[in-house]
Structure 1
Amino acid sequence: MEHIKVLLADDDPNVREIIRLYFSNQKMNLIETDRGDHAVDLAKKHSPDLIILDIMMPGMDGFDVCREIRKFSDVPIIMLTAKEEEIDRVLGLEIGADDYMTKPFSPRELLARMKAIFRRLQPKDAQDENAAQTLNFGNFVIDMLKRVVIIDGESLLLRPKEFDLLVHLAKSPGTVFTREQLLEQIWGYDFFGDIRTVDVHIKKIRQRLNPLDYQVIHTMWGVGYKFEVAAS
């Protein structure tokens, strides 16, 4: 974790000071701001390795900042909130956040979550030299080396965990996976979220496929999800 570049956007000076001191001991480079609109500019300018984003900030709230950053970057984002309402956490995931933490929290827990995110972002298929390069279902092709989906000759890019989830399901077409299985196999034992994370990512994949008239992930009510391409 040494020398990674982290952007911290939080209007609470105490939070910034605690994180600043802890990250300094970890030899991480920290860029700080107390305004949401400044966070977007800093993300564009510095291309951080990870962003820690408070929800309630002047200038622009964390949700809007996350939306803006997702227009130009897939950088991992951890959202901070002083609230405990479930809708905040779900909304954060839906707009592209990778994890969330409720204040107050310890710097050690924050560092653990950062490490977990970086582990999850490592492409598993790239580590397996014997892995097939593509999964071919007629006009629906998944290129695992280029990490792209090709539908009727048109390329579709997914966010890293969306792609990993789709690949995992597509490797066992027709097999029904429970949410718990998918959470464990894609996010790992060290993930701090809950099973709603799976539902959010399935929803995002379906939204990306909708304009192309392809739905390959099917809900098995009361059980989980399966991958199946309809015969043409």
Structure 2
Amino acid sequence: MRNESILLVDDEDGIVVMLDHLLRREGYTRITKASSAAEALAAVRTAHFDMIVLDVMLPDMDGFTLCTEIRKTVNVPIMFLTARTSDLDKLQGLYLGGDDYVTKPFNPMEVVARIHAHLRRSSRYALESMNNEEIYKFDKLTVNRNTGQLIVNDEEVPCPAKEFELLLYFCKHPNRVFTVQQLYEQVWGTMVEGDEKTVVIHISRLRKKLEADPSMPKVIVTLRGIGYKFVPPARSLRS
């Protein structure tokens, strides 16, 4: 039996019942279901969740707007589950704070596997944080793994879970070049076609937090045709 808590938000009863059944079969018993944005917000305000699965097309509010509201107070992984299949919709969902995006119709076991991967990585990350104090200081940038804090220019900047994990991975490997596939596999898990956009969007979001001019990045640098490299602003002063 697993201890992680999952919130399923979808107005299609069949999908919620199916995912609930499959997740319980995998040992997840702490599952909350919501069929509207209002129910989801009420749940988030009264309980802690380790993972949120969120439909985009809800009766009272679109899932993108709901994600923005949730992100004001919650940093756990959010997976969009939607019939919207265009690249624009996927990019919008990721830009607004989503960590993963699965389109309908979908393979139910793939969704469960992705949920499990997110939760496994979050659990491992939390355990490692308890056992290892890591504080990375690069000039005006501080990344505190133990507290989950990102400090830029002496101010704390909110940073959702996957963005923080990606940034932490960069901090551990300064000046090293990584392909999109390598970054995805280290932070999210096994990569499938289309997942490269997830990495690109998360890097774009990080740049807005770290760069003086995100359009001309100097911290997370793009090497065209190769990948990305984290270039510390100054000498590493890891504590």
TM-score of the aligned structures, taking structure 1 as reference length:
0.82
| Deviation of 1:60 (Å) | 0.4
| Deviation of 1:42 (Å) | 2.1
The one-letter amino acid paired with 2:223 is M
| Deviation of 1:44 (Å) | 1.3
| Deviation of 1:34 (Å) | 2.1
Q: Secondary structure at the match of 1:198?
A: helix
Specify every segment of 5 or more residues in structure 1 that has no aligned partner in the other structure, as ranges.
Answer: none
* Percent of residue pairs identical: 35
Cα–Cα, structure 1 residues 154 and 24, in superposed 2: closer, same or farther, change >3 Å?
A: closer
Q: How does 1:136-151 map to 2 (within 5 A)?
A: 136-151=137-152
Q: How does 1:1-232 map to 2 (within 5 A)?
A: 2=2, 4-25=4-25, 26=27, 28-122=29-123, 124=125, 127=128, 133-189=134-190, 194-210=195-211, 215-230=218-233
Cα–Cα, structure 1 residues 106 and 176, in superposed 2: closer, same or farther, change >3 Å?
A: closer
Cα–Cα, structure 1 residues 215 and 123, in superposed 2: closer, same or farther, change >3 Å?
A: farther
Cα–Cα, structure 1 residues 4 and 160, in superposed 2: closer, same or farther, change >3 Å?
A: closer
| Deviation of 1:200 (Å) | 0.8
Cα–Cα, structure 1 residues 21 and 177, in superposed 2: closer, same or farther, change >3 Å?
A: closer
Q: Is this contact kept in 2: 1:126–1:145, CA < 8 A?
A: no
| Deviation of 1:201 (Å) | 0.9
Q: Secondary structure at the match of 2:59?
A: coil
Q: Distance in 2 between matches of 1:32 and 1:129?
A: 31
Q: CA RMSD in A?
A: 3.2
Q: Distance in 1 between matches of 2:193 and 2:46?
A: 30
User: How many pairs were matched up?
Assistant: 232
User: Which structure carries more relative contact order (alpha carbon 8 Å, separation 6+)?
Assistant: 2
Give 1 or 2 for the bigger CA radius of gyration. Answer: 1
| Deviation of 1:111 (Å) | 1.9
Residues 92-118 of structure 1: CA deviation (Å, up to 9, x unaligned): 221112222222334433221111011
Cα–Cα, structure 1 residues 149 and 128, in superposed 2: closer, same or farther, change >3 Å?
A: closer
Q: Distance in 2 between matches of 1:128 and 1:9?
A: 29
| Deviation of 1:120 (Å) | 2.3
Cα–Cα, structure 1 residues 160 and 35, in superposed 2: closer, same or farther, change >3 Å?
A: closer
